[in-house]
Amino acid sequence: MRHLRLTKAAGAILALLLAGCAHIPADKSQVAGPDFERAQHAASLALARDAWPDQEWWKQYQEPQLDALITRALKDNPTMAVAQTRIASAQAAVNTQRAAEGAQVDLAGGINRQRYSGTGLFPEPIGGNWFNDVSVQARASYDFDWWGKHRAQIASAIGQANAARADAAQAAQTIAASVAQSYLRLQSLWAREENTREQIAVQRDVLSGRQLRLKQGLVNVDMVQGAEQDLANLNAQAESYATQAAREQEVLRALVGAHGDDFPKLARRQIPVEASAALPSRLGMELLARRPDLQAARWRVEAALGRAKAAETAFYPDLNLSASAGLDTVSVSKLLQWASRTGLVGAAFSLPIFDSGRLEAGLATVRAQRDELIADYNQAVVNAVRDVSQEAATLQGIAKQRNAQLQAFKAASTLEYNAQARLKAGLAESAAVLQARLALLRQRDNGIQLFDADLQTQVALIKALGGGYRAEPLQAANDQQNTRAIAK
């Protein structure tokens, strides 16, 4: 009876230990996933077209030079090389985790020659003599992954690999947008420089006319000096545009990863064709599939969920089985004899009982890191919607400014035409025509500035909408389910 009571007590203690070690602290996280119903721009924001960007969106500007530059940048820019190495590193980590799963079999062999002490543990004939130890052994082990630790670690590694791929896509979109904006800005600077050179030519005529009238006593010296000052300002402005254009060329050279000698000459100066901006009427979940940076953030959350799951398995008992079979002998000639065989079957069992709270602290750390990534992901969604809304609102404002500027340009063009007509009729002096011409050229410069602002903002909006990126169909279809899992 006493033995029975002891057995029952030991069983009860063992049951309590098993229950205690399997207990996982409750997850008290209050961080929820993003509400995609609210991930929407204002209804008042609407542009010419309801559409997402095309994959090669830059071709809408019909500039072969721009096409060639972006193609080269995506191939030769060092940033893309860095992104590809990170993908390879992340994929290697996935392969490493997969290799640690399941059965492991290896073959080991060895040969040793050892002299045993004549005054040691072994007496003669072993003590005081040399002996060989020859062994060949096949060993096998299998990790049953009872609680899903390896599966969670593999899922985490896959999440990191997918995040690296999305980061590479984001890098490509950033490079393409940067090249396009730099190229379009360069064309604008060239156009403004050319327009300023035209103003300089007109201003020289104005100065010549005033100098002639000064000799005739029809104007004072202040008017001549004022014309000289205006000419100097225009010359300085033209040189400023030339300097900015040279700097922009160096920006382009760096973006495409070219050396100074092999950088392609952008000899053709041409303002790109007008392209209508596009904005989808709804964002929501589609924005997640369209933005590679959001995809990267979501995959990092997936990786963190895997790490949290793996940390939870540390609270459970761990059982591993191993076996080996081989040959072992002290004489090489007897190695292949049946009597030299050896065998081993074993099991390793570990059970966490008391660790001063290390497991709880480790799990809390992993969960906190997971919550931080979820919060970052939620903030990234908000920032993405904000970026889209800001660029769309800017485009709307620029469109209104361009309409107003167009009316001003038409008015200046009419004034120049009327001045030319009066000059031909002998009702006006050439000075009036020159002043009207200068006014028209200044309005043209304003138009070039607004056109450049429109193009720059178009590219910024395209980038904010993901730049033509689209997640894989299966991956995109699972986004909503995965996002709900994030919130749990």
List, as one string, the DSSP characters of 223-279: HHHHHHHHHHHHHHHHHHHHHHHHHHHHHHHHHTT--TTTPPP-----PPPP---B-
Whole-number CA gyration radius for the chain: 38
How far lies 199's CA from each of 65, 271, 439, in Å? 29, 19, 9
Q: Which of 256, 290, 262 is nearest to 51 (CA)?
A: 290
Do the beta carbons of residue 39 and residue 281 sit within 8 Å?
A: no
Going along the chain from its start, the domains and CATH numbers come out as 21-101+149-197+234-317+360-487 (1.20.1600.10), 103-144+318-351 (2.20.200.10)
Structure-token pair, residue 19: 């229950």
Tens-digit pLDDT profile for the chain (488 aa)?
555 555 555 455 445 445 545 577 777 776 777 776 677 888 888 888 888 999 999 999 988 889 999 999 998 888 888 888 888 988 888 887 777 766 778 888 878 887 878 777 778 887 778 877 778 887 777 777 777 888 888 888 898 999 999 999 999 999 999 999 999 999 999 999 999 999 999 999 999 988 888 888 887 888 889 989 999 999 999 999 999 999 999 899 888 887 766 666 665 777 788 888 888 888 888 888 899 999 999 999 989 888 888 888 878 777 777 777 877 777 777 777 787 778 778 777 777 776 667 878 888 888 888 888 998 998 899 899 999 999 999 999 999 999 999 999 999 999 999 998 988 888 778 888 999 999 999 999 999 999 999 999 999 999 999 998 988 754 544 554 554 444 44
Q: At what angle do helices 149-215 and 64-76 cross, to 10 degrees?
A: 140
pTM value? 0.80
Q: Return d(Cα 248, Cα 452) in angstroms, integer.
A: 14
Do the beta carbons of residue 341 and residue 327 sit within 8 Å?
A: yes
Q: Classify 344 as helix, strand or coil.
A: strand
Q: Which of 344, 354, 346 is nearest to 319 (CA)?
A: 346
Do the beta carbons of residue 265 and residue 23 sit within 8 Å?
A: no
Q: Where are the beta strands (DSSP E) in 71-115?
A: 102-115
- Between strands 318-329 and 341-350, the pairing is antiparallel
